[in-house]
Amino acid sequence: MIKRIAAALLALCLVLPLAACGQGGELELNIDELGEELYSVGTFGEELYALDESVAQGLYGTDADTRCWVRAGTGATAEELAVFETKDADAAAALVQMMGGTPEQALDASSIALSNLLGLVCDPVGGLVEVPCQNRNAIGVAAAFSSAQLALAGIKSLVPFDQMAHVMLSVGHALPATLRETAKGGIAQAPAALSACEKCGICG
């Protein structure tokens, strides 16, 4: 259990992407390179060996849509390093499952996580996903953790997951175009952001 909780902590540090971002706003991440970099800078009591992704998916009970990179030891120490690429609500549900929760609790966690992100605007500076999207990913991590903890503590979501998904869609449609990844509103139009874009010049 200790190894799986530790792996889940790291997994949720890579919650991607945030709910308000469309297809063009997803942050591309090579989890294999990231995992190897984390392993190279870490200190471990024994050598950790890379697991085949299909084996790792079976070990953690993830589906084929969830990318994973795992290094595990021989069992002599409680050390294991895992990196997952998933989504906010998916991450909350996965964490519940990893900690022994029920399917009902996983759905509650997903619904709670989505409720915490409703109305989140997408206002990338310069049309890129670095600012403020990367910082908002950390909020997605906190939401996934909190949602999983609430569900595991027996707190139920008043609105079931399927209804919450419809709510999220309706809220997204209600957002003005300036706040839907067009870089024409929100933080993208702040004076400091516009000044940074002028100095950068990448976008032309």
Q: Tens digit of pLDDT per residue, the chain (204 long)?
A: 334 434 444 444 444 333 344 444 444 567 788 788 888 877 777 888 898 888 887 776 666 767 788 888 876 666 778 777 766 677 778 778 777 889 899 899 989 999 988 998 999 998 887 889 878 877 887 788 889 889 999 999 999 999 998 999 899 999 999 999 889 999 999 999 999 888 887 665
Residue 42 class from Cβ within 10 Å (0-12 exposed, 13-18 middle, 19+ buried)? exposed
Domain spans in the chain, listed from the N-terminal domain onward = 2-200
Burial 64-91 (b: 16+ CB within 10 A, else e): eebbbbbbbbeeeeebbbbbbbbbbbbb
- Sign, CA torsion 102/103/104/107: positive
pTM of the model: 0.57
Q: Measure Cα distances from 22 to 17, 26, 27, 99, 134 in Å.
A: 9, 7, 11, 31, 15
